[in-house]
Chain A
């Protein structure tokens, strides 16, 4: 199916939002909680699954099941322009950082991104769940285990916390990063988890023991401030911690377990 062509504009420097312009009949999908405002004439519609029209009923159910399993909302919000002129809807970044526009056609039609990073996309871009199938990631790097797969040829917007780093890796070029710092990458990039350090420091230190390795070729987007790191710092310094610590590299991946047992709804 043809993707809707979307014009957009990004505002702000550190606390950004993106304004997406929709022609009559065009639509965008986004996480409901990310919407900032919309002009009169735009209808908000909550759809079961991921909002893409592909796959039939079974495909939709499967998509919804995966979303349930990963602790995400079963529904996606679609923003239609029902008016007779161009209308705008804006989505805001959840915390300081940069909004990254990715034109999916330019990167080969698919983008793998961190579950929390997705902001919005042109309707027709399918939002899937991509489990990291290498077991080490699931067991030791909670944050890289459940990824989101964006497919289509329109614009998709992801959010990078803190400062954004864009790198293109040559074939065979390798980059070691903290699992939480990965925002998105092309699917030609091999993503794996490596244990770095000694067992002793694993038992007594606990910090920075697992690294993601990204090997080229392909483009990768990294963030300097993962949400989990920010959240942990805030919780640690809060007098009464009401939240839950969300590990970057916790054993058995808090995400996976959280997702299975209901999880937190972000």
Chain B
């Protein structure tokens, strides 16, 4: 006496929605009863496969004289009972049917994994960028041709013009241009020098050689050598491509963020100028710019003492009610940094520098309102 198993039977003379049925094995013969219908089919004529929605069910089908029949086994327990009395070839087919269902399942999992990866990709890229931002920015910066750098400079300049008024004529603009030209003689960049009509003590350099000095900084400098010190430092940031790397870092982050958040429109270019006026460089980059600036001052025959003197003065004034000393927040003049600078100046071969031939009083007065 073998176990009975239940399922749902479909076939001719049965309702289209099938009928609850009970089956059992009688040797090599499958016997199925559903209501008044009683059927028998030899095991050799049975076909067994995974079928139905998601191939979740086991279908036992056979052809009889009046048409095709199919018995669906739904619960795993029914499959066990069916298998218990089944002849060997049937058991083999049943095992294969189970594999089909599992294969569908595995493919679904793979699909979900791919979809998940696809959705996470921008965030992964962002994480990788944050992690290796400096390396990536340096790598990219080294591959930007000078013409491209100049274009970034133009773009920045256009943005700066919309934010602040630039003084392009008069003694102050003239003075900045003269000193700047001496510091950048023979450079691969075409420098453009501007004075911004703003009270803050600040200066910044855009990639490609756009240098902007704020009127407040010129008023705060006691000698043209102090201005030269700042210009030399800013020039060094351009020559060492610090500004470019910073811009790439800023833009890259923004571009990736925009991608991750799905908003690629106009967020990228517009804020570049704002970034540059507030761009902070690493401590290493500042030290490097000091060194390079110092070299340029000496090479141009300008006394380098103005550089530490100016930053020292600002650092002392910082505690008081000085006008916004933005330059200190973007190029922090640590005591350590000034110390190094003085030591390097002292180590230079003794030599006398001719003072810059500028009417400094007139320059400063031209900016007083």
Contacts and interface: CB of A to CB of B under 8 A. Distances in A.
B198 interface: no
A256 B115 contact: yes
Contacts of B44: none
A172 B12 CA distance: 12
A217 interface: yes
B17 A108 contact: yes
Interface string A141-181: 00000010000000000000000000011111000000000
Interface stretch (A13-21, A119-127, A131-139, A193-201): A131-139
Contact of B108 (A108, A135, A261): A135
A213 to B, nearest CB: 13
Given A171-B11, A188-B10, A131 B108 contact: yes
Nearest to A106: B17
B37 to A, nearest CB: 15
Interface string B49-66: 001111111010100000
A42 B295 CA distance: 89
B16 interface: yes
Interface residues of B, number: 32
A197 B126 CA distance: 40
A132 B54 contact: yes
A219 B14 CA distance: 13
A27 interface: no
Nearest to A139: B111
A107 interface: yes
Contact of B107 (A135, A170, A186, A216): A135
Interface stretch (B68-76, B227-235, B271-279): B68-76
Contact of A170 (B55, B56, B67): B67
Contacts of B68: 170-172
A186 B111 contact: no
A188 B60 CA distance: 12
A218 B10 contact: yes
Contacts of A91: none
Nearest to B19: A108
Interface string B31-57: 000000000000000000001111111
A187 interface: yes
Given A108-B8, A133-B104, A133-B108, A168 B17 contact: yes
B88 interface: no
A61 interface: no
A130 B17 CA distance: 20
A263 B258 CA distance: 21
A191 to B, nearest CB: 6
A189 B52 contact: yes
Contacts, number: 93
Contacts of A257: 119
Contacts of A108: 8, 17-18, 20, 74
A54 to B, nearest CB: 15
Interface string A180-212: 000001111111000000000000000000000
A188 B56 CA distance: 9
Nearest to A187: B53
Contacts of A217: 10-11, 16, 18, 70
A171 to B, nearest CB: 4
Interface secondary structure of B, over-half rule: mixed
A120 to B, nearest CB: 21
B168 interface: no
B318 interface: no
A171 B62 CA distance: 10
A112 B53 CA distance: 8
A171 B10 contact: yes
B10 A216 contact: yes
Contacts of B28: none
Given A130-B53, A187-B53, A107 B111 contact: no
Given A139-B111, A188-B10, A260-B119, A168 B16 contact: yes
B67 A187 contact: no
B339 interface: no
A112 B56 CA distance: 13
B134 interface: no
Which interface residue of A107, A133, A168, A172 has the most chain B CB atoms within 10 A?
A133
B323 to A, nearest CB: 49
A216 B67 CA distance: 14
A260 B15 CA distance: 40
Contacts of B18: 107-108, 186, 188, 217-218
B111 A190 contact: no
A147 B53 CA distance: 11
B359 interface: no
B365 interface: no
Contacts of B53: 112, 130, 132, 147, 185, 187-191
B350 to A, nearest CB: 70
B119 to A, nearest CB: 7
A66 to B, nearest CB: 13
Nearest to B11: A171
B54 A133 contact: yes
A172 B51 CA distance: 11
Nearest to B55: A190
Contacts of A256: 115
Interface in A69-126: 106-108, 112
5 contacts: A108-B8, A138-B108, A147-B53, A170-B11, A186-B17
* Shortest 8 CB-CB contacts between residues of A and residues of B: A168-B16, A217-B10, A171-B70, A171-B68, A133-B54, A133-B108, A187-B53, A135-B111
Interface of B: 8, 10-12, 15-18, 20, 51-57, 59, 61, 67-70, 72, 74, 104-105, 107-108, 110-111, 115, 119
Given A168-B16, A218-B17, 8 more contacts: A108-B20, A108-B74, A133-B105, A135-B108, A147-B53, A170-B67, A185-B53, A187-B53
